[in-house]
Chains A and B, each alone.
Chain A
Amino acid sequence: MELNDTPGSRGRRPSLPVLLLAALLLSAVPVPLGAGRPSLSTLRTLSLDLPGAPAAVISADVDGDGHRDLVVVVAYNQWDEVAVTESSTMDDVKGLVEVMTIVPAVIDRREVRLYRARPDGSYEPARVLPLPLSVLGMEAGPPGTPVVALTDEGVSALRLDEGGALRLEPWIADPPVMAHTGNFLGDLKLIEDVDGDGIPDLLLPARDGLAVYLGRRKDRALARRAASRVPVPGEAWRSAADLEHRYPLPKIEDVDGDGRPDLVFRDPVKRWRSVWVARNAGEGKFLPAVEVVLGTGDPKGPNPVWVGDLEGNGLAEVVFRQSLDDSRRGSIRQEIEKVRDPHSRLTFHRLSRDLALEKAPYRTFDVTGHGFESQESEIELPGGFKDVNGDGRPDLVTITMDVGVAKVLGSLATKRLTVGLDFHVWCQQKDGAFRPVKGLDLSGSFRVDLNDLRISQLSLFSGDFDGDGKADFVQLGRGKRVTIHRGRADCSFPAAPDMAFDLKEEPRDLSLVQIRDLDGDGRSDLMVIQPKRAAEEGFAPPVRLDLYLSGGAK
């Protein structure tokens, strides 16, 4: 009997006999809590000096030697010279003459730096490739194309020549919708496994639809031809204030219970009130998206705030939130109190295999704190549903704030706020109930940039520093001191840290800290961006990238 499942695949699960056997083995050999658990190791520190802010930090085996290298894309500006040719008249010269003027100018620069990993865990000095402004994004791909760059023309693969030089190899000719914008987006996240074969695939946002490029089995590289092109539902243009074009990108998740991941698009205007589902038809193809209307947007009624598979059975649930706070406008102090400590009721409804919303809720409970984005807000808080204890089913994290009137008034103009945050965890039980975890002290004081709040940047629960599959809580926001509290099966975290260390410097704000596995050892690492003083006012400052790598000295 074998577990015919590939890491990262979707839809295939161990058969019932396998599960029974596993349960029997577990019950036959009593294991004390924590025994046999991987231990936390000391962190190796490494600092990289960069000429500007890292726009992307990618962990990938570029040279195919089995070690995960570090690829860093840097954006900065510097003085350079540009030649300007003009037609002009001159004394004693008939007609126009061409005059070339050399002008000093501030020029935007981008480059990709490859730090090759050595077997001992250190990195070779950087190999640098200047990037043209036509490179729009870069992320890790399947092993045959380990780093893929989205360009004005389509996709290129980052390659290391035999001579040790970096180059971009044109791979796919299919211009994306953001071609010729000159913007580099480090957080595109276009690589996902959409066919469930364990090989990452690419969803390319093309002008005429979302193009699906599968990862090939034969060489584990991206296919050069699209398997399909999915019409994008909900695409919207607005020209009243800002001129904007909204192009939805899907969440990839099985929501109809057939074991194959579907494309779930959120409406970019109606938010969760309307979603479109393009069902997986196999081999990288998808059925036309169907709209699932979930709410009307009545601010006083329950509003949909989340859609996804809560129970781990491949079928989607929809979570509605209704505020329990007085909807009447109060004084500034009363309004601040609502912001600090909001109370709401969550109701859970099931979506059928036919994507019909069941009218009656199957579960209802009240929570305190922020867990979901508000209807119109672009601000993303680090709460919401996430699998805290590694059982494959999402738990709920909410956040309460300690913020005063003056701070809020100030933040409206500055978009920056220093705020005390406390985290509350509701752990999903085997029967699907959510039980609040008592006795947690996860509070901290955080400087946050309200213009740049993303879930990936507030990944306090995303770290797994011991590689046991359970999220560990990283306590930030207390100066230089960082503590790691190992997650338990009951979603609790010990009050006393399992590990503590000091950063070289206190992070300037929370968005400059990232937690993820950078060296591919299955354990999370910590990355802190430390801006230094700019050489000249108005210029992008150079940066020191401090890496705190788990796994200890190698």
Chain B
Amino acid sequence: MGSVLLFLSALLPLPASAQTFTLSLPGTLVSAAGVTGPSGRPGVALLLAAGRDGKGAKSLLFFDPERRSLQRWIDNLHEETNVVAAFDLAGNGVASPLAGMPGVVFAPAGGGGSRKVLNESNVDLRSVAGVTAGRPWLPAAHTGLLELFERGPGGSGGALQHHGVYPLPVKAERQRWGLRLSSPPVTLLPGDPPLFAAGPQVAGRRRIETLLIPLDGTAQQEAWSLLPGEERLMYDRRYLRIDGVPVLAATSFDKIGVFAKKRFRLYVLGRDRSRKGSAPTLAVETDCPLWFPLDAASADADGDGHQDLVIVHPGGLQGKELLVTAYHGTGGGHFDSRPRHWKLGDQATDWLYGPDLTGDGIPDLLVLAGDRLLLYAGDPKGSRPLAGRPAWVASVPGAPKPDARDAGEGRPAEAPGPTRERVLTAHELPGGGRVVLVRGAQKDGRTVLTVAWRK
């Protein structure tokens, strides 16, 4: 397997804890996952498309951030291949890449070839949200079913086999062209024990149903949440765990208007036999206009050992600010009502809260503003949750312009609600390193990555 060293652009100033550099790819980036490379080194598996906009034949490359090298891994994957995931297929503790397309999963077979390790209709590795790396199974969901696949016999030459099947609720609707049968989105919550959440589904106007699917053999649980007033659920919905407690973070709105803002609701998810719905444990007004997305994350932002709640969203009518609010967790999904606030007076194209790139154990914030990538270090004890000045700034070639963004590969064009193109992704590497990739475009449509790497 020949290694291909591609153009590595001018080295940017290296901060003490992370390195940043740019990397031109010989195709369009479709998907990435932190894996162990063919030679046993940690890195990132990159799934590339030959054509623009993620179309055309696919190939899998291994990117070694320490050596800044690219190595071909699988050539000529089917053009419908759309995702790469990390999985210990050989059972030796090594996270290898699996490339998936609807109905088929491939593994590298040496010499640039691939072999099918799963061939089952309706399996799509993109179908379950959440981080699956490090799990002994791979989840895939389709209408009516959540399926888990595990390593089968045969060591490194083995394939995937069924591990378990879990029913999902199905909703039927009549459309002009026929019947639409759908199940709610499925998320694997972070942390242990493994727990899947299917939902949320609005019942009537105010009740919200989540189906919790544990893997320990206990029964599925219906968790019901209740919107506090005459308000409607919006599209910012995320399942989190806070100090081990599963929660639903969501936004809602009451009245429509140019100056109307989103409301934030946090629900602890537990068994609700009455099905009436539980009130939120945190219900606050935000400064997020209705048309901008809002992110919620659970993280120990103040270093006290309890997970806090951090929400990030643009502010101002035109989104020319980025606002971060951190609520101090007091345990059990409850929070101190006096949050810490942080504001950036710049228009962000994309942002990512959570990766620790400064190495102090506190989550940091990455912001893409124009063609600059800025890292703001988390501040555990200050009056604001993040430092006032960026720890470093890197230029991002080919950065997307806000008015030129499109739906992007892997996201349906009709995805409802306020969304943004995610050009910032973080990947945990085997052995503890961390890589953040920022996707830019070259003139010919191929991807140029800005890489931030911490060993």
Contacts and interface: CB of A to CB of B under 8 A. Distances in A.
A243 B183 contact: yes
Interface string B382-415: 0000000000000000000000000000111111
A373 B176 contact: yes
B181 A247 contact: yes
B170 A266 contact: no
A237 B185 contact: no
A105 B143 CA distance: 28
Chain B contact residues, majority secondary structure = loop
Interface in B284-312: 290-291
B328 interface: no
A247 B182 CA distance: 11
B334 interface: no
A475 B368 CA distance: 53
A187 B273 contact: no
A104 B274 CA distance: 6
A243 B168 contact: yes
Nearest to A247: B179
Contacts of A412: 291
Chain A interface size, as a band, is 35 or more
A181 B172 contact: yes
Given A185-B173, A414-B232, A537-B206, A105 B273 contact: yes
A410 B186 contact: no
Of the candidates B126, B141, B178, the one having the most CB atoms from chain A within 10 angstroms of its own CB is: B178
B231 to A, nearest CB: 11
Interface stretch (B40-48, B252-260, B345-353, B428-436): B252-260
B204 to A, nearest CB: 6
A189 B177 CA distance: 12
B172 A243 contact: no
A180 B170 contact: yes
A178 B126 contact: no
B58 interface: no
A501 B388 CA distance: 67
B249 interface: no
B25 to A, nearest CB: 23
A249 B177 contact: yes
B174 A243 contact: no
A266 B143 CA distance: 21
A187 B206 CA distance: 25
A265 B177 CA distance: 7
Contacts of B180: 244-247, 268
Contact of B234 (A413, A455, A538, A539): A413
Contacts of A248: 177-178
A247 B258 contact: no
A406 B186 CA distance: 35
Given A240-B127, A414-B232, A183 B172 contact: yes
Contact of B171 (A106, A181, A373, A378): A181
Interface string A23-57: 00000000000000000000000000000000000
B177 A246 contact: yes
A90 interface: no
Nearest to B141: A243
Contacts of B273: 82, 84, 103, 105
B226 interface: yes
A84 B121 CA distance: 38
A540 B207 CA distance: 11
Of the candidates B170, B226, B273, B291, the one having the most CB atoms from chain A within 10 angstroms of its own CB is: B170
Interface in A73-109: 77, 82, 84, 103-107
Nearest to B232: A414
A186 to B, nearest CB: 9
Of the candidates A181, A243, A373, the one having the most CB atoms from chain B within 10 angstroms of its own CB is: A243
Contact of A242 (B172, B185, B205, B274): B185
Interface in A492-547: 537-540
Contacts of A538: 204-207, 226, 276-277
Contact of B102 (A181, A239, A266, A378): A239
Given A239-B122, A413-B253, A413-B290, A244 B178 contact: no
Interface string B120-157: 01111011000000000000111110000000000000
Interface in A223-272: 237-249, 265-268, 271
Interface string B230-264: 00101000000000000000000100111000000
Nearest to A246: B180
B175 interface: yes
Interface in B52-66: none
A205 B180 CA distance: 12
B126 A185 contact: no
A540 B274 CA distance: 16
A183 B122 CA distance: 23
Given A244-B143, A409-B258, A185 B204 contact: no
Contacts of A239: 102, 122-124, 126-127, 140-142
A376 B414 contact: yes
B381 interface: no
B275 interface: yes
A247 B174 CA distance: 10
Contact of B127 (A107, A243, A247): A243
A241 B419 CA distance: 13
A136 interface: yes
A160 to B, nearest CB: 28
A195 to B, nearest CB: 21
Contact of B181 (A77, A177, A267): A177
A178 B176 contact: no
B177 A268 contact: yes
A183 B410 CA distance: 30
A174 interface: no
Contacts of B175: 246, 268, 378
A535 to B, nearest CB: 13
Contacts of A173: none
A305 B177 CA distance: 13
B291 A409 contact: yes
Nearest to B272: A105
A103 B177 contact: no
A380 interface: yes
Contacts of B143: 237, 243-245
Interface string B160-199: 0000000011111111111111111110000000000000
Contacts of A188: 174
A268 B173 CA distance: 13
Contacts of B144: 245
- Rank and list the top 10 A-B pairs by shortest CB-CB distance, nearest first: A410-B256, A239-B127, A239-B124, A249-B178, A178-B172, A248-B178, A245-B143, A243-B183, A244-B182, A247-B179
17 contacts: A105-B273, A183-B171, A183-B172, A185-B174, A237-B121, A242-B185, A243-B183, A245-B144, A246-B178, A249-B177, A249-B178, A267-B177, A268-B177, A409-B256, A413-B253, A413-B291, A538-B205
Given A245-B182, A249-B178, 20 more contacts: A103-B274, A104-B274, A106-B275, A178-B170, A180-B170, A181-B171, A181-B181, A237-B102, A238-B412, A239-B124, A240-B127, A244-B183, A245-B144, A245-B180, A246-B178, A268-B177, A373-B176, A406-B258, A409-B256, A540-B204
